[in-house]
Structure 1
Amino acid sequence: MNEAPRVAHILEATVGGTARHLTEIGCELAGLGIPQEAILSRRAEESFAGRAERLARAGVRITWVPMTREIAPGADLRALWQLIRCLRRSRPEIVHTHSSKAGILGRAAAVLAGVPVLIHSPHAFPFQMRVGRARRALYVALERAAARKTRCLVAVSHAERDLALSIGGYPEKRTVVIENGVDPEGGASPQEGEALRKELGIAPETPVVLFVGRLVEQKAPDVLVRAAARVLGAHPEALFLLAGAGPHFDAMQRQVALWLTQGPPGANPERIRLLGHRQDVERCYAAAQLFVLPSRWEGLPYSPLEAMRAGLPVVASDLPPLREMVIHRQTGLLVPPDDPEALAAALSSLLSNPEWAHAQGRAGRARVCERFSLRRQVEQLALVYRTLAR
């Protein structure tokens, strides 16, 4: 078999970190000479158009198939049939599915199309979400069934692999951890950060607390705003920037004003700004002093890695995947999820001690450069492909 196997990626979740993951690895793998096809959902949001174009420019063939996020038997069967046709036409040696919906439909299609090697990357399992017991049981049962046909589960964190092993279906020898990575030399310069601060009218002495992520339940922006109201009572000079969009953006704007009126004196609504989706997110990191991510569940998100690369201390939820990135009191602070008071206390402690915050930021950058490089991630994945395709 060819030393560089043909790989077909299948992805329905064309927003957020999963889309970023596929774009990064797809372009880098193409540079290593691995031929690839990306089969993507037609529900792709506008923000993904640029990522698809970037993949195409790198030499990745793009194929569009309509897939829906929710369980929809009729639409799912039509998507399954189209996926089978795509795979029979392109005849890849490996199908690599990403996230939950593509993980089920894509692996089923690969089996029916006779693809020899199936690889799956969960990017957080659906049964981690806040769902009822019946739906959680369904998600677990589907994952167990798909696991039996999966040659390798590629987890982005040890916590994700442990969760996969805990539900049964995946022998440990058929799992591997390949952590997400970033280009250590990427990001924006301090001068670019200063320019953004001027554009946004931020005074040089203002400490900026940055959140980057979609405004969805998983990322807990509601918890962040409640914590921000407490922080601003003690640190009225601080400014919170929330960079990200989502289906509830307008509702979030209304809630910001509501929560702040219920907060302590000094919680000025103008000190929390919702920036929406930003194409220049790297400049946002360069303009900030602290980074915060109060997620309720995660795989291994990119935003803390980007923040650490920019030299920012990270305040994040104490979740197993985030513990693999953030070392408590060395590169940032970890707090219980869904706890605005604990989150506020952690942010306030760093705002009150900027030298300590700077030291943690420097340690975080060193950690990213040492352990979480994109090149290392892609080389490990290419080795998995070549090993399984022999």
Structure 2
Amino acid sequence: MEVNHSLLKGQRIALVANTDWYLWNYRLSLANHLRETGSEVYLISPKGAYSKALQAHGFKWIEWQLNRRSIFPIWEIYSLVKLHRLYRQIQPDIVHHFTVKPVLYGSFVSNLLGVSYIFNSITGLGYFFLRDTLAIKMIRNLILWSYSFVLRKPNVYVIFENQDDRSFFLERNLANSENTFIIEGVGVDIHQFTPSAEPEGTPIILYAGRFLWEKGLGELIEAARFLRGQFDFRLVLVGNPDTGNPGSISMNLIDEWVQEGIVEWWGWQDNMAEVYQKCHVVVLPSYREGIPTTLIEALAAQKPVIATDAPGCRDVVIPGVNGLLVPPRNPEALRDALALLLSNRDLRIDMGKAGREIAIDKFSKEVIDHKTIMLYHSILMSNKKDER
């Protein structure tokens, strides 16, 4: 990574997320690259199964007591106070927040303490922007007001994963246009997710992710029912319900689908690279994403993908090149796309090869980390010039 290290050397940089799992899986390579620049890197999150692993890599991991699903005011104020104390303790020069609560709480606290550079990654809009009940509308309006309050400061820089999300924020005047940027997701390790020969036997269609209605699982099950009897295939679900998320699909319903014979449930898998090697097609019929990690991992593993023509998904899939796009909430179109790839092995292989090249050129961790560090550098350089 060719970066002028001088501006970042010695900078205290805090990377802040709502789980240590997020930091371990998605931002460890960024932390490593920042350390190579001579920066002093702090990783801040609630304590979980990956905290010790982050420390074992030589990073200063600090616990932040945060409940990512809570909306109880006393607990939220407590989390704000704890983060305020942490920032006063480490006195960061640069903070980079990931996911909703760190973005909102971290930006508020950083501005109170006069942190010079505040970067926020909007990793998607989430559940509260996909449904329209009265309660959800009220919460959504509160979130939008909060974004507007914390993001429109001159020292706050907002990173989006796709143009649709950026436009959503700018149309509602939630951020300053000149301080918004696009970096396409968290990146994929192209050395971990590698090509392999398509396996012999019954084709496997893979869905990997949280079990949420907003991910299009209902439409996927309906499409699979349409195809049953026409094609020999296995539909495999990898992941778990997202307990506490109002859009979560119950494990009881998953069990019913398994008993029906329409799906196999492989549970949570730590080695996803191995899982991709066993499948033939990867599918994500989601209603909206940032940049879906499942899809870019599939590209790197040289698998064809089927996704929806929705924000985030359409930023990964080039129709007819590395996969197929279908309208959201349309099980018939999803059925037809699955049928096309199930019936055409050569097309699957050609799309997989094209996807691998796209993953290397656009979505590799090297590319994404480089863009992120260059953004830090360009902002610091711009401010240095303004000070002259």
TM-score by length of 2: 0.86
Task: Please provide the CA RMSD for this pair.
Answer: 2.3
Runs (4+) of structure 1 exceeding 6 A deviation are: none
Counterpart contact for 2:93–2:115, Cα < 8 Å = yes
Select 2:45's aligned residue among 35, 40, 43: 40
Select 2:211's aligned residue among 207, 215, 226: 215
Select 1:6's aligned residue among 4, 12, 18: 12
Counterpart contact for 2:194–2:300, Cα < 8 Å = no
Alignment-derived partner of residue 286 in structure 2: 295
Identify, as 1 or 2, the structure richer in helix. 1
Q: 1:277 to 1:226 in 2, by over 3 A?
A: same
CA shift digits 1:251-292 (9 cap, x unpaired): 23234158x5xxxxxxxx0x5211111011111111111000
TM-score by length of 1: 0.86
Counterpart contact for 2:195–2:300, Cα < 8 Å = no
Counterpart contact for 1:190–1:287, Cα < 8 Å = no
Q: Secondary structure at the match of 1:333?
A: strand
> Which residue identity is paired with 2:316?
M
CA shift digits 1:180-222 (9 cap, x unpaired): 322333225638x86xxxxxxxxx3211111111112332323
Q: Distance in 1 between matches of 2:253 and 2:38?
A: 44
Select 2:160's aligned residue among 155, 158, 167: 155
Alignment-derived partner of residue 315 in structure 2: 324
Q: 1:367 to 1:2 in 2, by over 3 A?
A: closer
Select 1:232's aligned residue among 219, 228, 236: 228
Alignment-derived partner of residue 3 in structure 2: none
Q: 1:57 to 1:336 in 2, by over 3 A?
A: same
Q: Distance in 2 between matches of 1:304 and 1:228?
A: 20
Q: Distance in 2 between matches of 1:316 and 1:296?
A: 10
CA shift digits 1:267-319 (9 cap, x unpaired): xx0x5211111011111111111000111221111110110111111101111
- 1:114 deviates by 2.3
Q: Distance in 2 between matches of 1:103 and 1:79?
A: 13
Select 2:180's aligned residue among 170, 175, 189: 175
Q: Secondary structure at the match of 1:139?
A: helix
Alignment of 1:1-390 (within 5 A): 3-4=8-9, 5-13=11-19, 20-42=25-47, 44=48, 49-50=49-50, 52-68=51-67, 69-126=69-126, 127-131=128-132, 132-149=136-153, 151-180=156-185, 181-188=187-194, 190=196, 204-235=200-231, 237-246=232-241, 247=243, 248=249, 250-257=251-258, 260=260, 269=261, 272-389=263-380, 390=384
- 1:22 deviates by 2.6
- 1:358 deviates by 1.6
Q: Distance in 2 between matches of 1:189 and 1:335?
A: 25
Q: Secondary structure at the match of 2:120?
A: strand
Please identify, of 60-69 and 288-297, the stretch whose mean Cα deviation from structure 2 is larger: 60-69
Provide the aligned length of Structure 1 versus Structure 2.
Answer: 362
